[in-house]
Structure 1
Amino acid sequence: MTRKTVLSRRMVIAAATLAMAMAAVTVMEADPFASFTVRASAVTPADAAKPYGPTVKADRSDLDVRALGSAEAARKDERRGYRHSSLQPAGRFVTAGQKITVTVPAAVTGLKASVGVEGIYQSLNGGKAKTPVTLALQPGANVITAPLDGLVNLVDETPAGSRTTHVTVTGGQAVPTFVHKTTSPAAFDTQVQTSKAPFAVVIGDRFIAELQRPSLAKYLVKGT
């Protein structure tokens, strides 16, 4: 059996496992001293069929940030106990004090960057749970000093479907990112082997999973 076949089967099993986890927790589940976090995405059913996610390179990430509206307003309208996530992964990991630059097109306002992770991770933020910090972005180059250790995400809460904005994020570490319908298992394997980031991200049609390397080795890739 080839490595590619093994990886492909692992990806299918992992996707099923994470989908079941998403159905069970709806929003996210983070184990103390961590394993993985799964969030239900606020992407609409119409958009779910379209591949989305960042293009991640060693020095930068490019992504089309979608307007998803207010996740809290949608929760209330649908009378759900938990809200979906408006976070859109940028494919970058930062440590507190590290600088990143988020470049937003001219005249575009209302975008935000979120830095951090949910839950307790032994090696991050002094082993304490700290709420991710959300920062308003202005048109042009936004130089941000990371307030916490964690992942970089983008947020657009303007009316759902009203726009898509191309954003570039430079700095930090590249995070291995698997995007359903876009990333091949072989390409993801290469990202994992060449990255030193402590996380990887798996983006499905309706969920986002953030995995630490121990979980990555368990569910997706051998040799990590």
Structure 2
Amino acid sequence: MDNAKPLPNYLVQRYHGWKATGYAENQSWYRRLASDGQHPRAMVISCCDSRVHVTSIFGADQGEFFIHRNIANLVPPYQPDGAQHGTSAAVEYAVRALKVAHLIVLGHSNCGGVQGCINMCQGKAPDLDAKDSFVGRWMDLLRPKYEVVADIADADEQQRQLEKHAVMTSLENLMTFPWIGEKVSAGELTLHGLWTDIGEGGLEYYNTEKELFMPV
């Protein structure tokens, strides 16, 4: 493998700074995490977007969250077809092996993946419509929900609503996994849908009784 290069210097400096402070001051804690294994209480499925920082939002320490990130925080439906499914594999490990008590889907404002879905549905993204676009084919998971927001005139509000539908789509698809449905019915697992406003620092949760997102 000839293409892997050393880390850029700024990352090397940051690592040494952390090793000399954050790690050195909590060495016993890190060694305990390493020896005892992980026992997270919750799994968080969030977007790859670099502006969404799950541990910062909840003030979480190492070992608290099992985190999986993908484009637009989407979960595909249960499909045991022998293909490679990264998100489904992460969910399976969290629920069946780690036995997390909470499964959280976290969407966010100004999501590029959701905007790409809108552009596809409006015929403005031929590159994403191409069969060889991994992003486009992934966003096909959300494409049916565009019809629900198609008539919203305000572009920003349209995107916000589709971002929230992405969260709901993932929650719906999670319930197609038989072992998730069983644990939810048995009271061993709870699902949560959240949406965060990056600029305002707001956080909303999906209220199933009112069928809308409300401030936390």
Richer in helix (by share): 2
Q: Same fold (TM over 0.5)?
A: no
Give TM-score, length-normalised by structure 2. 0.25
Q: Which of these two proteins has the greater Rg computed from alpha carbons?
A: 2
In the superposition, the TM-score normalised over structure 1's length comes to 0.25
